[in-house]
Structure 1
Amino acid sequence: METLEITDAVRKRARGTLLASAIGDALGVPYEFETIPLVGDPQPLGGGLGDYEPGEWSDDTQMAICIAQAAATGVRLTSQAAQDEIATKFLAWAKDGATDIGIQTSRVLADARRREGTASQRLRAASAYFSATSDRAAGNGALMRTAPVGLAFLYDRELTAQAAREIAALTHTDPMVGDTCVLWSEAIRHAVMTGRIDIYAGLDLLHPDVHSSMIATLQEAEEPDFRPEANSFTITAMQSAWHAVVMAKDREDPIREGLFEAVRQGSDTDTTAAIAGALLGAAFGEDVVPDYEVHGWPGLTGKDLADLGETIVEKCRPRY
């Protein structure tokens, strides 16, 4: 059985994806919701809402690691087995490892513990209930963890989109969340494969009815003076991250400048920078990732995340 080859360039971009996302997370931690004022360039000082150590990543990366560890076994993320494993990891993480959890995710996980069925069935039921009973069910807590999803099906954009929507729905069933996760996951996949950034590459994977509004949303974020009032909503989180990417992608040090710009957007700084970092790392690769020492749950380092990204693409590449 023949296995498709992974080039060195693709491997380096895969290694940069989770790593740059985690660095963005750690850079944003001290300034989340103006925990401390940002003076000069962001620094991974720690503190923040979870009293983090310097260079420590937050729940954004912690939840992405739950997905990445499942994907690194080679299991298809669209399978029931994979999604049960991810759901089980989410529940265990929330109980024993989480340093901070978003409001929506926390409520869904707590509700899921009281339900029956497999882990993924319980999460989906709890997520659907939250969406049906809340007018704030489109938070950014699924978009923040798309880095490993974009790595899992490098040769299949439709499966990337399916996995993005299904894994998002474990905690966030709102269609807008699914749409943003599809766009960002496909942009990561496309960047790893080609080295090019194109958020519009996944537009055809969304329902045609949302194309015009999504294009307008993205174009608004491309304006140099774009500043959202808040970015805890999945749409404004995507806008903040996309703005940071667009402003930095042609600069001499694109990942560092993009992460700085994401943090300067304010509000949910660690999440915005984690989202932007995943796409920037996927496009420019490990060699361009700024040299910050990062670490965090479950006892991993930045190098471990780079290795995890490479393992995902190696284990998940198709065999014919």
Structure 2
Amino acid sequence: MAMNAEDYKRGALLGLAWGDVLGCPVEGWREHEIEAVYGLYQALPERYPLSAISEKRRRKLRPLGLHSDDTQQAMALIQVCQSQDGWNDTKWKEILVQGVERESWRGVGRNFVQSVRKMAKGKDVKKTGSPSAGMGAAMRVGPAGALYPENRELRLRVALESSLSTHSDVRAAVFSAVVASSVAGLIQGNSPKEVLKEVPYYAEEAEALVAVLEEEGWVIQNRGSTLISEGLRTAYQWADQPLDTMRQHISDFARPHLQKGFTRAHPNQGFVLLGGLHALLMACRSDAEPNQTLYRIIQLGFDTDTVCAIAGSILGARFGTDWIPFDRLLDQAIGDYADALVSGSVPETVEVFLQREAEWTREERAFQREIRQF
């Protein structure tokens, strides 16, 4: 395994992208569906076994190796943070809106769409977040820990503001900050056990800054909630329990806080206290082997790509990049963005970035049209 901080920084994005790509083929599937088609899912398929996949699932397949919105938004965050003047919430708003206008984004969730529509209508980005405690912010924020491993205040501000723009629930924003700070801690040389002991304090720091952001005009749902920091004081101890026990603890902890519409407290569901916490604990287990960790997550089904994107970013910061099969990523430009985490300069303009993503989106749609004819 690689043993230098630069490689761990690169891993924060490449691990995220690989987790995203690896989980995409079965995104939204249930455990029994994955097993019926792939048996024990332990690799990115070389090709889709189309005859074994139901028509319902075939409709949403994307080219194997193509990343989704998890990786796209992480690269967009790097674009903004590495621009000439650094992080700025207005520039973040602009790149999200421009991405929608150019049809660049792929597989985006309802909350993201609603928020960006408000931005496009001219609403202040501080007031556009949807009242969601989902993982749509945590999935993209790991690289902020690689950008600012030493600058705690800026790292927290970037994580919180970028999150609140689309997910205004304090739990989503604070958990995003926990992910970024966990990545930073690993890059700084802390062990996974040390990082897990620190996560309640990462959350407390974020909760304190949320109060400042509210004074600055950010609209925040469930403001004052300390659920993340309080929960993590216990949850970090679950990481090295047997997998089934750890996952049962996660489900039991999250169940009283589920939003209306959740059918079950499954550890891969899109709530930060389910999929987000599952990703964090899986990536920090003492017995974690990076690819096996991602396979174990995917085998459970549900929000496979997003949970694996979060876990992959943390695993990349922990193990570097040697474990990531970079050749399986269709878009090799992701490597340039990983290099930007080290060099401090973006590899291309925003215009070129969004245009390339729009081209990949068109390729995905063409692929899906072809699949429908199968």
TM class, shorter-chain normalised?
Answer: 0.7 to 0.9
1:264 counterpart residue number: 299
- Counterparts of 1:111-260 in structure 2 under 5 Å? 111-116=118-123, 121=124, 123-127=125-129, 130-131=130-131, 137-194=132-189, 196-197=191-192, 198-205=195-202, 206=204, 207=207, 209-210=226-227, 211-220=229-238, 223=241, 224-225=243-244, 226=247, 228=251, 229=266, 230-247=268-285, 249-251=286-288, 254-260=289-295
> C-alpha separation between the residues in 2 aligned to 1:199 and 1:68?
25
Structure 1 vs Structure 2: percent identity of aligned residues?
A: 22
Secondary structure of the 1:110 match is helix
Residue 138 (structure 1) shift: 0.9
Alpha-carbon shift at residue 168 of structure 1 (Å):
0.6
SS of 2:27's partner is helix
Structure 2 partner of 1:65: 75
Look up the SS of the partner of 1:33 in the other structure: coil
Q: Which residue of 1 aligns with 2:97?
A: 91
Matched, 1:275 2:310: yes
1:57-76 Cα deviation digits (max 9, x unpaired): 11111111110112233543
Letter in 2 for 1:76: G
- Name the CA distance, whole Å, in 2 between partners of 1:149 and 1:50: 30
Aligned-residue CA RMSD in angstroms? Answer: 2.7
Deviation, structure 1 residue 174: 0.7
Tell me, yes or no, if the aligned pair for 1:143 and 1:177 is still in contact at 8 Å: yes
- Look up the match of 2:44: 44
Alpha-carbon distance between aligned partners in 1 of 2:273 and 2:333, rounded to the nearest angstrom: 30
TM-score by length of 2: 0.69
Gaps of 5+ in 1: 1-7, 132-136, 316-320
The letter of the residue matching 1:70 is: V
Kept in 2: contact 1:50–1:100 (CA 8 A): no
CA contact (8 A) 2:112 2:136 kept: yes
Q: Conserved in 1, the CA contact under 8 Å of 2:278 and 2:307?
A: yes
- 307, 310, 318: which one aligns with 2:339: 307
Amino acid at match of 1:53: P
Contact 2:196 2:284 in 1 (8 A): no
> Offset at 1:313?
8.7
Gaps of 5+ in 2: 49-56, 209-225, 252-265, 348-374
Is 2:110 aligned against 1:103? yes
Larger radius of gyration: 2
Q: How many residues of Structure 1 are paired with residues of Structure 2 in the alignment?
A: 286
Residue 220 of structure 1 deviates from its aligned partner by 4.6
Distance 1:242 1:204 in 2: 15
Query: Normalization by structure 1: what TM-score?
Result: 0.80
How far is 1:93 from its partner? Answer: 1.7
Offset, 1:292: 4.8
Shift of residue 21, structure 1, vs aligned partner: 0.7
Counterpart residue identity of residue 175, structure 2: T
